[in-house]
């Protein structure tokens, strides 16, 4: 299963556990399992050694018992047999009980024993030498023989209390050793993993800052391993992102921001030429020639830049973009590069808001506005060394002609464009106008808004443009 989502982000897990804790738990479990395994191995070795020692002692004690039982059995004195058996249990504290079967089949047991058929059956297997019976408990048996005459079989059960004490003591020691080793190794691994995970945590925090748009992050390089290589590559990536953001901002000053975003974010550098319905809006300064002649260069440039800044903000507010600045004129396109259904209404509201800005300016200047909606050709126009993604066509020519028909502060468009505009506007025909360079007759007129809600929206657009321009002049980021 992939560790990443389809959108490129990390998969979400129900609980986040730091690396240092993971390593500490892993090492702790590994050490614990190792100690448990060693414990069972040592228990097995110790038990084998104890059984060998117990077998040697049992052989000596059972041999001694059979020697003592020979004479009482030969004499047939059961009382003497009982005395020998009781005396044996008193002298050997590790012996729990004794079972004896005489040659005539008589069974006798002494001690707190529970003798079952398995013990009785095992007695018949007694030999000339002491051996352990094939039972779970510690039974050792030997045949009682005088010369070549079998007198019976005796079996002694020995206690395992000594082994239980040894096993308990070994268990306590192993548990204590395991606790000490787990704690020591856990603390050591926690410290080492913390040192190793620190740059990874720094990478995670820095990645969050970069994701938020802060490209000033640079992490310190420490060490010479895979983590330091990752930190170095991260720093390089951030520098590339910062450079890309700077280039995007720079290109955004000269090109359509939407096209710049498409090129940088999606790699869509081959923008295909096509036909599309757009709205073209022109704004041209009235009396620019006389104004430029009567004022110095700095004042002319400052005035144009001031109004162009306001126009740019209003155009962006209504979803259009500045296609180009032509001397003292501005050409704006709505519904480019993607086709949007309400581009004509937004362009009309934008033109009226630009007229309001001119009327409300502290240093008023007269601008004429022309607008037309129609089909144009979108494409890369220019030479191989200098291309411009722009629009050409009859709609552009008609919109540029409209600005010559009105006076300062008027928005002019053809009636056929106004017919597509919808409610909320008023059309006042311009009598006796003739549009140059247009093959067919056009009736042009001034458009005004007649809806209170639309006037409020225009006022908000004007306030937004003025506020944004003021912040820009004050040196604050918008």
Q: What pLDDT, on a 0 to 100 scale, did the predictor assign at position 387?
A: 72
* Domain membership flag for residue 198: no
Which residue, 125, 141, 164, sits at the end of a domain? 164
Q: Are 205 and 219 in contact, with CB atoms under 8 Å apart? A: no
Residues 315 and 439 occupy one common structural domain: yes
Stretch 46-66: mean pLDDT: 86
Residues 301 and 432 occupy one common structural domain: yes
Which residue, 164, 192, 224, sits at the end of a domain? 164
Stretch 398-426: mean pLDDT: 91
Query: Could you count the other beta carbons within 10 Å of the beta carbon of residue 225?
Result: 10
* Domain membership flag for residue 11: no
* CATH number of the CATH domain containing 409: 3.30.70.1230
Query: Could you count the other beta carbons within 10 Å of the beta carbon of residue 301?
Result: 12
Q: Report how far residue 401's alpha carbon sits from residue 308's, in angstroms, rounded to the nearest whole number.
A: 20
Q: Structure tokens of 325?
A: 């600045």
* Domain membership flag for residue 221: no
* Domain membership flag for residue 278: yes
Q: Which residues of 230-239 are buried (b: 16+ CB within 10 A; e: fewer)?
A: ebeebbeebe
Instruction: Give the confidence band of 372 by pLDDT, cuts at 50, 70, 90.
Output: very high
Q: What pLDDT, on a 0 to 100 scale, did the predictor assign at position 2?
A: 42
Instruction: Give the confidence band of 6 by pLDDT, cuts at 50, 70, 90.
Output: very low
pTM: 0.52
* Domain membership flag for residue 416: yes
Q: Are 325 and 311 in contact, with CB atoms under 8 Å apart? A: no
Question: How many folded domains does the chain comprise?
Answer: 2
* CATH number of the CATH domain containing 158: 3.30.450.20
Q: Report how far residue 428's alpha carbon sits from residue 408's, in angstroms, rounded to the nearest whole number.
A: 15
β-strands 411-414, 367-383: how paired? parallel
The three-point CA angle 147-152-154 to 5° equals: 115
* Domain membership flag for residue 194: no
Q: What pLDDT, on a 0 to 100 scale, did the predictor assign at position 8?
A: 47
Instruction: Give the confidence band of 457 by pLDDT, cuts at 50, 70, 90.
Output: very high
Q: Report how far residue 229's alpha carbon sits from residue 217's, in angstroms, rounded to the nearest whole number.
A: 16
224 vs 330: which has the higher pLDDT: 330
* Domain membership flag for residue 30: yes
- Rounded to the nearest 10°, the torsion over CA 418, 420, 421, 425 is 50
Residues 136 and 277 occupy one common structural domain: no
Residues 148 and 275 occupy one common structural domain: no
Domain that holds residue 374: 271-473
* Domain membership flag for residue 266: no
Going through 408-451 in order, the beta strands assigned E by DSSP cover 411-414, 425-429, 444-449
Average pLDDT, the chain: 81
The helix/strand/coil state of 414 is strand
Residues 285 and 154 occupy one common structural domain: no
Which residue, 131, 164, 197, sits at the end of a domain? 164
Q: How much is the CA Rg of the chain, to the nearest whole Å? A: 52
């Amino acid at each position: 299963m992939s560790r990443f989502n389809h959108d490129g982000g990390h998969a979400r897990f129900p609980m986040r556990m730091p690396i240092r804790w993971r390593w500490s738990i892993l090492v702790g479990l590994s050490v614990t399992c190792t100690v448990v395994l060693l414990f069972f191995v040592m228990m097995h070795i110790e038990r084998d050694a104890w059984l060998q020692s117990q077998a040697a002692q049992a052989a000596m004690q059972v041999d001694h018992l059979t020697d003592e039982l020979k004479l009482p059995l030969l004499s047939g004195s059961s009382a003497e047999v009982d005395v020998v058996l009781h005396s044996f249990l008193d002298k050997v504290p590790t012996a729990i009980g004794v079972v004896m079967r005489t040659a005539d089949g008589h069974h006798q047991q002494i001690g707190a024993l529970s003798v079952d058929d398995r013990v009785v059956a095992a007695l018949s297997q007694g030999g000339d030498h002491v051996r352990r019976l094939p039972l779970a408990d510690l039974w050792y048996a030997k045949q009682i023989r005088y010369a070549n005459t079998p007198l019976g079989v005796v079996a002694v059960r020995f206690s395992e209390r000594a082994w239980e004490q040894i096993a308990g003591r070994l268990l306590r020691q192993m548990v204590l050793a395991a606790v000490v080793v787990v704690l020591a190794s856990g603390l050591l691994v926690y410290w080492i993993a913390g040192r190793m995970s620190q740059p990874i945590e720094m990478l995670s925090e820095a990645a969050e800052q970069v994701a938020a748009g802060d490209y000033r992050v640079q992490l310190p390089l420490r060490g010479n391993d895979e983590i330091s290589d990752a930190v170095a590559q991260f720093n390089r990536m951030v520098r590339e992102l910062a450079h890309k953001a700077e280039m995007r901002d720079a290109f955004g000053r000269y090109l359509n921001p939407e096209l710049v975003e498409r090129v940088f974010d999606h790699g869509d550098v081959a923008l295909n030429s096509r036909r599309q319905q757009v709205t073209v809006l022109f704004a041209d300064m009235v009396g620019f020639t006389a104004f430029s002649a009567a004022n110095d260069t700095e004042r002319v440039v400052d005035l144009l830049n001031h109004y162009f800044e306001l126009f740019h903000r209003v155009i962006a507010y209504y979803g259009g973009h500045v296609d180009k600045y032509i001397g003292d004129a501005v050409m704006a396109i709505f519904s480019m590069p993607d086709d949007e259904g309400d581009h004509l209404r937004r362009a009309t509201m934008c033109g009226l808001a630009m007229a309001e800005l001119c009327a409300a300016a502290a240093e008023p200047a007269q601008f004429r506005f022309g607008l037309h909606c129609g089909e144009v050709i979108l494409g890369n126009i220019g030479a191989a060394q200098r291309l411009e993604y722009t629009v050409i066509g009859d709609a552009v020519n008609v919109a540029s002609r409209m600005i010559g028909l009105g006076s300062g502060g008027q928005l002019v468009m053809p009636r056929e464009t106004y017919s597509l505009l919808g409610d909320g506007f008023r059309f006042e025909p311009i009598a006796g106008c003739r549009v140059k360079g247009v093959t067919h007759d056009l009736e042009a007129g001034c458009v005004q808004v007649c809806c209170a809600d639309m006037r409020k929206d225009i006022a908000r657009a004007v306030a937004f443009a003025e506020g944004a321009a003021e912040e820009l002049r004050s040196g604050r980021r918008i």
